[in-house]
Structure 1
Amino acid sequence: MRAALLKVLRTNGFHCLSAPDGYSIMTILTEQDVDLILLDVMMPGISGFDICRDLRLRHDNPVPVIMISARGDEADKVTGLELGADDYIAKPFGDSELLARVRAMLRRAHIAPAPAAPRVRQLRFGDWAVDLPQRQLFAPSGARVELSGAEYDLLLALLEHPQRVIGREPLLEMSRSRLGNASDRTIDVHICRLRRKLGDEERRELIRTVRGVGYIFTAAVERA
């Protein structure tokens, strides 16, 4: 579910962070500001209801929350809204409905970007470039570098979190739509292929291994 949501939102120009449980959400909120939270009721460890209640108690200027749940009963919706959720959407739902609710919530919070605001179309690192609409990687020479769908999604996940260590499990989660029921070993194999295609196989300067943790994309990334 998280992988599907990330793909839809990022494709439509939103910058997204992913959290596997409530404790991770709290960690993210202490480190940076966010404009909107999509909160699943059935989260591991602590329910979305409890997280929503805690968010409202802790923050004087609460972040808008849209609760997501397979439990579409009226009582559950009432509970979520009474705990402080701003909207409630029941599974299954379509991409169009999700995007409409997200945009409406951001407009209500007066933080939606202007309709004419340009979308990010390209990511650049050094002399390399990724064309987002075309899903293509271009070498410094201008030549197109052939990437599989999984390799592209994995590279994009690294580029969206530059100069930060990302564990294998989060990378696997970010690339779940392509890699399916893959393992840590699958991530390592795709990283090896990416390094080779980036001319990084021997020096490993762009994608560095952090032993026992995961990987870090070392270069600065520019958005255009």
Structure 2
Amino acid sequence: MAKNQFDSIYKPKILVVDDEPAITIGLKRQLSSQGYEVRTASGGVQALEEIEQNSPDLVILDLMMPDLDGLQVTREVRRRILSNVPIIVLSARGESRQKVEALDLGADDYLTKPFGLDELLARVRVALRHRQQISNPMVSASPTIISDDYLTIDLEKHLVYKEGQEIKLTPKQYETLKFLALNPDKLITHQMLLHHVWGPEYGKETQYLHVLIGQLRQKLEPDPASPRYILTEPGLGYRFRLLARNDS
């Protein structure tokens, strides 16, 4: 497998936090082989110390730990340490509620154990790309047009086109699409969308989102029954994904 694209220039620093030695050792070996600089921590207290002292570019964080759990660590990182460092949380299959809470606290993505190396590396690349965009003002400036060969979103003019034909959206439909499109490939939870589109007093009215997303898919998707742009993460939220140009 090819080395990471940063290998010859800069090795991104990744902190792996888990109280299971087999997981930290395995992840360190796998990520190091891809050109990343990897440090590990066995608990939440040690993780916070590592983050404060070494400023990692990415944190891979287990939710369930014996001292400070992943939720407490995420809260502290976002509140007082590195507010923009990407956090990928690791969870067991039965921890859906904790996953949603971690994402709402500011975690960027999640992986459910067990997971494959290819899936892990894909999530790491996306998280580091977001980190690079935040750090580079030339890159982080919001685009004015988001498009592929089928769909175009003109953010400056507040217009949306499907195969060159303008699509009429309601204000809430447009605001939802815009928020998703400005965070490509990132999991946006139900609560994040509700807060952004309806206001901070909303957080549990997921039926609003189900209806609105269904309406957007009817207007935008080539096949609303099999969406390729607005993808559902069951029980968690949605991801927006553009196809590469000339992709079929």
More relative contact order, 1 or 2 (CA 8 Å, 6+ apart): 1
**TM-score bracket relative to the smaller structure:** 0.3 to 0.5
**TM-score if structure 1 supplies the norm length?**
0.47
